[in-house]
Amino acid sequence: MDASTATQKPITGLILSGGGSRAAYQVGVLGAIADLLPDAACNPFPVIVGTSAGAVNAVGLACGALHFSQAVRRLNSVWQGFRCGQIYRSDWPGVLRQSSRFLGNSLLGLGGHDLPVALLDNAPLRDLLTRELDFSGISAAVRTRHLRAVAVTAFGYESGQAVTFYQGRATIDPWYRHRRVGVPTRLGVEHLMASAAIPLLFPPVRLGREYFGDGAVRQTAPISPALHLGASRVLVVGVSGNPVGPNSAPLPPQPQFGRPPTLAQIGGHLLNSTFIDNLESDIELLERINSMSRAIAPEARPRNLSSEQVEVLVISPSRPLDEIAARHRREMPRAIRTFLRGPGATRASGAGVLSYLLFEPGYCNELIELGYQDAMAKRAELQHFLGLETAPVNPQVVSAF
């Protein structure tokens, strides 16, 4: 293949958004993609970008980019066996200690201010990531050109910037935009802990001289990092609670009782606005730019309007994840369930918060299955997007998901 042909070949980017335990849905989508690929296929996504829990899935894929299907199976195995205690302390001593620290330090001003405090202690997540991820796989994949770059985004509390930490080829230049920058680095566990540190729920993480939190905070252009890293088309796997399309669930009922919202309801809407709204707005903006590009003749295009269109394929839940979480709310460990009862998170109306925190097998497995089915419902679109020939799905692989 000569250089001119290589430059014309589209570079496919994968964007995995944040969303706590909702990211189990992404594993199901990835499982469907693995089934559609030929046996022993390498990574079909030269550019992989993730935020929050999506960053964990992204780096998991990148670490196993030389053996894509194996990497997906490993992610699937981990998510299928999840328990809340593997992500954050869910035992009585851990919950009481952390809540006491939070109340005393953050609300009453007691104790020192040199250690970040949050409602939940996610130290078990650090142990899990250290045990499960082999970061040397990223370097190997980049060196053998099975991966162009992998990136995770975190939010700097002092600078107010969305910082995308990326590891990839040396030819990729850093970028500097308004409140969003790209920084080359060697990714590690602390980058993932920072990207997944949901404000107030999990403590911020220090990287260098600054503390960072969940990358979805103020990430106004979630698709942008993939384009900066060289992607010319992107597959976006969202975790929206607002399904759209012909197979979507009906609209929620109109308010009837006029009851004041619980703290959990308010928190659920805040989490949705953080993890979902910016991504949906960015997709809509990109589609409008593509439409403008198609409508304007090349010679009449403004200089700042690119002639290259960015193909976007979106796969998102066809059913409301809040409703699924509400049905599984009794799986939550007793200590956490008691802790969340006051704010109303254990009621059906407060399931929005649960849908981000419910790292339990019943809920995660249902999301994995939903992701698989939603991806297979777009099988033809996926095959066209990835340039695959139509082929029957390997039933032996399907049974693994």
pLDDT, one tens digit per residue, over 156-169 is 999 999 999 999 99
| pLDDT at position 113 | 58
The verdict on residue 35 lying in a domain is yes
Q: What are the DSSP E strand ranges found in 157-220?
A: 162-168, 175-177, 180-184, 205-207, 210-214
Q: Report DSSP letters for 18-59, one per residue.
A: --GGGGHHHHHHHHHHHHHSPTT---S-SEEEEETHHHHHHH
Assign 257 a pLDDT band (cuts: 50, 70, 90): low
Domain with residue 171: its CATH number is 3.40.1090
Whether residue 50 is predicted with pLDDT greater than 60 in this model: the reply is yes
Q: Check if 4 is active-site.
A: no
Find which of 101-110, 259-268, 344-353 is predicted with most confidence, using mean pLDDT. Answer: 101-110
Q: What is the pLDDT of residues 212-254, one digit of tens each?
A: 999 888 776 788 899 999 999 999 998 765 544 434 444 555 5
The verdict on residue 3 lying in a domain is no
| pLDDT at position 96 | 87
- Region for residue 162 given its phi and psi (left: phi exceeds 0; alpha: psi -120 to 50; beta: otherwise): beta
Q: Which of 17, 21, 35, 52 is catalytic?
A: 52
Helix, strand or coil, per DSSP, at residue 340: helix
Minimum mean pLDDT range among 53-67, 91-105, 376-390: 91-105
Q: Which of 121, 214, 282, 322 is catalytic?
A: 214
The verdict on residue 261 lying in a domain is no
Range of the structural domain that residue 355 is part of:
12-243+269-293+308-340+350-386
The verdict on residue 400 lying in a domain is no
| pLDDT at position 400 | 36
290 versus 49: the higher-pLDDT residue is 49
Backbone angles phi, psi at 106, to 5 degrees: -80, -35
Q: What is the pLDDT of residues 61-93, one digit of tens each?
A: 999 999 999 999 999 999 999 999 999 999 989
Furthest-apart CA atoms within the chain: distance in Å: 68
Is 48:62 a contact under the CB 8 Å cutoff? Answer: yes
Cβ partners under 8 Å of residue 346, min gap 6: 329, 332, 337, 340, 354
Q: Check if 52 is active-site.
A: yes
Q: What is the pLDDT of residues 296-323, one digit of tens each?
A: 555 555 555 455 678 889 999 999 998 8
Q: What percent of the chain has pLDDT over 70?
A: 72
Q: State how many domains the chain has.
A: 1
pTM of the model: 0.85
Residue 306 CB coordination number (10 Å):
12
